[in-house]
Amino acid sequence: MKKVSTLVLSVMVLLVFSSNVKAQNKIGYVSVDEVLSVMPEIKKVQNELASYDSSLQINYSETLKEYLSKDSSFKADSAKLTPAIRKAKEQGLEKLAGELNNFQQNYQNMVNERKNQLMQPIVEKAVSTIKEVAKANGYTYVFAKDALLVQPEGDDLLPLVKKKLGIADAPAAKPAVPKTNK
């Protein structure tokens, strides 16, 4: 009987202790995309990507113009050319056509690679800041907001992260006042 009461008492103490341990876990959530979208560095990345894209497009346009010019010249003069010169010009046109084709195939990869290159330090800064905020505010777990269907507003770390990054909240829009006809 004494063993049973000791066992029951031990189980009760263990249950109380485990519920206290669970109560100490503080869980929060944040959207990394939202954090990134409010960071001022993003505007610089967007501008650099637009500039990079523009330079790629200009390069492509110049190569295309060169190809079209050489192609029309070749078609106009091909009857007058010797077979050796005709073959050399055909090879030059094929090379330009290959460059244009390669550009079209690799364009999106080049843009994505550049974007990843520019975004990496910003993403690292965002994640580091989220970790610092979580630690400073006693959060033991922080989930991606997108993974949660229901969450309490008070556990959203976005306002704390924005504060840590020195980003002020945008002022709330004033409600429209209906005009009265007099």
Q: Mean pLDDT in each 10-residue stretch from start to end of the chain (182 residues)?
A: 45 46 78 93 95 94 92 87 89 92 92 96 96 94 89 86 85 54 55
CA dihedral 132, 138, 142, 148 (to 10 degrees): -140
pLDDT of residue 27: 92
pLDDT of residue 177: 53
pLDDT of residue 80: 87
Q: Which residues of 128-137 are buried (b: 16+ CB within 10 A; e: fewer)?
A: ebbeebbeee
- Look up the pTM and report it: 0.66
Domain ranges of the chain: 28-165
Sequence length of the chain is: 182
Closest listed residue to residue 35, CA positions, set 143, 105, 109, 127: 127
pLDDT of residue 174: 54
